[in-house]
């Protein structure tokens, strides 16, 4: 009994010490806080309002439903724009938010496909935000994250372009990463994942390539979408 009590005391002590050395820090309001959900303080996380799904038309008969955890506004905007050492924590928080705030958790999928970064941008940044978010969801759903797609050309950063330029910017930029994927991943239920949805042209271009695999279900989830 005494042993358990000492163990509990030791745990409480180190927990307090950890909080002192690494206090929880809100991504949005930059306040140190004790209650921290999705990398946000309680007040900031309460600002996240539910967002309705939208359907992006891909072909005459096919559209892709997109789930979004939030509109592209604070506090989720701050998570998407997180820099440097905070980025990985932010990706994890975005993944948790998609899981908690959207209907993706009620859906069944066989695999998750992140929107890829061009290798030049990947080399510069060292990681792909969409892929990190996809891994959080993959762990929740117990399904694999597969890099089915590759970018065939480097494109300008979407947020810096006008609406017309964005659609042009992502036309035909994706291809299957390996030709054999067409057979291996045929007739599967696929969830596409990206951090941010702007015009929908990225999801649309990626979906057109994935349709070659004849998926039985093709839907998408994003951290935030522009209103
Ligand atoms: Zn906050």
- Which tens digit of pLDDT belongs to each residue from 126-169? 788 999 999 999 999 999 999 999 998 766 555 555 655 555 55
Range of the domain at 75: 49-225
Instruction: Give the per-residue pLDDT at 155.
Output: 61
* Residue pair 174/150 in contact by the 8 Å Cβ criterion: yes
Q: Could you tell me the distance, in angstroms and rounded to a whole number, from the CA of residue 172 to the centre of ligand 1?
A: 40
Q: Could you tell me the distance, in angstroms and rounded to a whole number, from the CA of residue 195 to the centre of ligand 1?
A: 20
Mean pLDDT across the stretch 114-128? 80
State the pairing for strand pair 111-114/189-197.
Answer: parallel
Q: Could you tell me the distance, in angstroms and rounded to a whole number, from the CA of residue 125 to the centre of ligand 1?
A: 26
Q: How many domains does the chain have?
A: 2
Q: DSSP letter string over 27-93?
A: TTT--B-S-EETTEEHHHHTT------EEEE-SSS-EEEEEEEEES-TTHHHHHT--GGGHHHHHHH
Instruction: Give the per-residue pLDDT at 218.
Output: 98
Indicate whether 72 and 125 sit together in one domain: yes
Instruction: Give the per-residue pLDDT at 110.
Output: 98
Q: Could you tell me the distance, in angstroms and rounded to a whole number, from the CA of residue 82 to the centre of ligand 1?
A: 14
Alpha helices, H only, 102-200: 119-125, 129-141, 163-169, 181-184
Q: Please write the tens of the pLDDT for every residue from 159-210.
A: 555 655 555 555 678 999 999 999 999 999 999 999 999 999 999 999 999 9
Q: Please write the tens of the pLDDT for every residue from 61-103.
A: 999 999 999 999 999 998 888 876 677 888 999 999 999 999 9
Give the three-state DSSP class for 214. coil
Indicate whether 76 and 20 sit together in one domain: no
Produce one character per residue of 66-105: b if its CB has 16 or more CB atoms within 10 Å, e if not: bbbbbbbebbbbbbbbbeeebbeebbbbbbbbbbebbebe
Q: Could you tell me the distance, in angstroms and rounded to a whole number, from the CA of residue 225 to the centre of ligand 1?
A: 21
Indicate whether 147 and 208 sit together in one domain: yes
Q: Could you tell me the distance, in angstroms and rounded to a whole number, from the CA of residue 185 to the centre of ligand 1?
A: 42
Instruction: Give the per-residue pLDDT at 71.
Output: 96
Indicate whether 142 and 122 sit together in one domain: yes
Tell me, yes or no, if the pTM score tops 0.85.
no
Q: Could you tell me the distance, in angstroms and rounded to a whole number, from the CA of residue 137 to the centre of ligand 1?
A: 24
Residues within 5 Å of ion ligand 1 by Cβ?
26, 28-29, 41, 44
Instruction: Give the per-residue pLDDT at 48.
Output: 93
Percent of all residues in the chain with a pLDDT value above 70, rounded to a whole number: 79
Instruction: Give the per-residue pLDDT at 219.
Output: 98
Q: Please write the tens of the pLDDT for every residue from 21-46.
A: 566 778 888 888 766 678 888 889 89
The DSSP 8-state label assigned to residue 185 in this structure reads T
Q: Could you tell me the distance, in angstroms and rounded to a whole number, from the CA of residue 26 to the centre of ligand 1?
A: 5
Indicate whether 62 and 34 sit together in one domain: no
Q: Could you tell me the distance, in angstroms and rounded to a whole number, from the CA of residue 134 to the centre of ligand 1?
A: 25
Instruction: Give the per-residue pLDDT at 107.
Output: 94
Indicate whether 62 and 173 sit together in one domain: yes
Indicate whether 55 and 88 sit together in one domain: yes
Indicate whether 63 and 42 sit together in one domain: no
Indicate whether 32 and 63 sit together in one domain: no
Q: Could you tell me the distance, in angstroms and rounded to a whole number, from the CA of residue 127 to the centre of ligand 1?
A: 26
Nearest to 113 by CA among 150, 81, 65: 150
Read off the CATH number of the domain in which 169 is found.
3.40.50.2020
* Final residue before a domain boundary, out of 16, 32, 47: 47
Indicate whether 92 and 203 sit together in one domain: yes
């Amino acid at each position: 009994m005494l042993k358990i009590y000492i163990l509990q005391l030791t745990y409480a002590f180190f927990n307090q010490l950890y909080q002192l050395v690494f206090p929880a820090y809100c991504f949005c309001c930059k306040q140190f806080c004790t209650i921290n959900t999705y990398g946000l303080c309680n007040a900031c996380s309460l600002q996240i309002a539910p967002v309705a799904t939208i359907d992006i038309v891909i072909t005459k008969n096919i559209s892709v439903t997109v789930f979004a955890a939030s509109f592209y506004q604070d506090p989720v905007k701050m998570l998407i724009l997180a820099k440097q050492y905070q980025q990985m924590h932010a990706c994890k928080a975005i993944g948790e938010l998609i899981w908690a705030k959207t209907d993706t958790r009620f859906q069944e999928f066989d695999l998750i496909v992140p929107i890829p970064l061009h290798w030049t941008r990947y080399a510069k940044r060292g990681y792909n935000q969409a892929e990190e978010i996809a891994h959080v969801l993959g762990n929740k759903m117990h399904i694999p994250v597969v890099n089915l797609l590759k970018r065939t050309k480097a494109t300008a950063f979407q947020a810096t372009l006008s609406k017309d330029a964005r659609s042009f910017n992502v036309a035909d930029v994706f291809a299957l990463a390996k030709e054999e994927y067409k057979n291996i991943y045929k007739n599967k239920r696929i969830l596409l994942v990206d951090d941010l949805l702007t015009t929908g042209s990225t999801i649309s271009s990626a979906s057109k390539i994935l349709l070659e695999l004849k998926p039985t279900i093709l839907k998408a989830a994003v951290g935030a979408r522009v209103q």
